[in-house]
Amino acid sequence: MTSLAGPALILAPLRTGPPLGLGNDARRIRAIGLSDVLIAPGLLAGTPRWPWMAARAAANAAVAAHCRGESRRPGSGRRSTYGAIGMSALTLIDAAAAATLRAAEH
């Protein structure tokens, strides 16, 4: 989610979180945004880069689990299910990128 998503989730959690399938708990949505903001500098300029990518994969897995939990709430609709699927896919991609970077940086 690294981009403007992190700051948007922090500043306007109830406007940005629900459309992404993150539910309507402002504290949890802000925590997701904060993790994005904290990891972004390492992804862009960290050395070595692989630990930051691994952290991104772990954060994505946590967001996927959160979305999956939201999808089980009555009346949640499909956005949380789609969010869980998308974040799971990003977890796999970021984990593979972390492994590739680790191999290249050693």
For the chain, the straight-line distance linking the first and the last C-alpha, in angstroms and rounded, comes to 27
Express each pLDDT in 81-104 by its tens digit: 999 999 999 999 999 999 999 999
Range of the domain at 78: 5-105
Express each pLDDT in 13-34 by its tens digit: 999 999 999 999 999 999 999 9
The alpha-helical segments, DSSP class H, found in 46-106 are: 50-71, 79-105
CA–CA dist 32, 22 (Å, integer): 9
Q: What is the mean pLDDT of the chain?
A: 93
Number of domains in the chain: 1
CA–CA dist 8, 104 (Å, integer): 34
